[in-house]
Amino acid sequence: MINTTPSEDFIYGSRAIIEAIHAGKEIDKLLLQKDVRNDLTTELLEAARDFNIPIQKVPIEKLNRITRKNHQGSIAFISSVVYASLDNIISEAYRKAEVPLLIVLDRITDVRNFGAIARTAECVGAHGIVIPSRGSAQVGSDAMKTSAGALNYIPVCRADNLKTTLREIKDNGITIIACTEKATDMVYTQDLTVPVALLMGSEEDGISPEYMKFADHLCKLPIIGKIESLNVSVATSVILYEAIRQRNGI
């Protein structure tokens, strides 16, 4: 059965989830009760792995907090978008003779921040958003609503291995700019007219050191007041509009 509450896009029950996977539903993640193992859950695990669906083993208490109905130890969250491949996103930008502009999000788990970033990204004509398959906001109806429908238009790529994805971005001639308060250079000194991928981290933890190594440049926004950082969706918006300003010679 599919729960129809707008804020909760999920399917529960092993057989229902298996059928949804084979029917082509985009699954954000699969939660499995960690102490349950039978033929049906084995079949579900195989289907999830065949389709590269992130799997998380959790205690039954977590599943019960999501729904008290007969979930049989499994709940799958449905995505509101069909994920795009990074290769297609980049190829399409170059095919249109456009300069690629990507946003890579590391550990952005707040759905409102993700939706707001998607909204601005679509408004400025960015070519796509890259998110990790684990540790990112659920791309469900709440994200769609917060994005004001922008997620219907801007491609989202889900990366199983963000290191590999960042390497692929660099191999396609795209400069990776990490936005961090640890930088010494301001964003306004960066050349954003070239193919660019903006790497943004969470407000709490910033960008993971393992991903920071892939950055060609580090930059930051000026902070004059006493609060040390901006909301990540606000910071992303400011940098995206600086890119558009440079690209349009404003």
Q: Which band of pLDDT confidence, cut at 50, 70 and 90, is reported for residue 204? A: confident
Tokens coding 56: 């998380």
Regarding predicted confidence, which is higher, 119 or 230?
119
Please say if the pLDDT value at position 206 is more than 70: yes
| CA–CA distance, 47 with 24 (Å, rounded to integer) | 11
| CA–CA distance, 41 with 49 (Å, rounded to integer) | 12
Q: pLDDT by residue (tens digit) across 147-178?
A: 999 999 999 999 999 999 999 999 999 999 99
| CA–CA distance, 123 with 23 (Å, rounded to integer) | 32
Q: What SS3 class is residue 141?
A: helix
Q: What angle do CA 7, 10, 43 make, to 5 degrees?
A: 170
- pTM for the model stands at 0.84
| Residues contacting 82, CB < 8 A, separation 6+ | 26
Please say if the pLDDT value at position 2 is more than 50: no
Please say if the pLDDT value at position 213 is more than 90: yes
CATH of range 10-78; options 3.30.1330.30, 3.40.50.720, 1.20.140.10, 3.40.1280.10 = 3.30.1330.30
Please tell me the CATH superfamily of domain 86-247, with its number.
SPOUT methyltransferase, trefoil knot domain (3.40.1280.10)
Domain residue spans in the chain?
Answer: 10-78, 86-247
Q: What share of the chain is helix, strand, coil (3-state, %, to 5)?
A: 40, 20, 40
Rounded mean pLDDT of 177-185? 93
pLDDT at residue number 175: 98
Output the CA–CA distances (angstroms, integers) from residue 194 to 120, 177, 191, 203, in the order listed: 20, 11, 7, 27
Rounded mean pLDDT of 173-194? 95
Output the CA–CA distances (angstroms, integers) from residue 190 to 177, 184, 209, 219, in the order listed: 9, 12, 21, 8
Q: What is the 3-state secondary structure (H, E, C) of 142-195?
A: HHHHHCCCHHHCCCEEEECCHHHHHHHHHHCCCEEEEECCCCCCEHHHCCCCCC
Please say if the pLDDT value at position 6 is more than 70: no
| CA–CA distance, 170 with 6 (Å, rounded to integer) | 38
Nearest to 9, CA basis, from 148, 108, 138, 95 = 138
Nearest to 158, CA basis, from 114, 101, 98, 125 = 114
Same fold across 10-78 and 86-247: no
Nearest to 137, CA basis, from 228, 14, 9 = 9
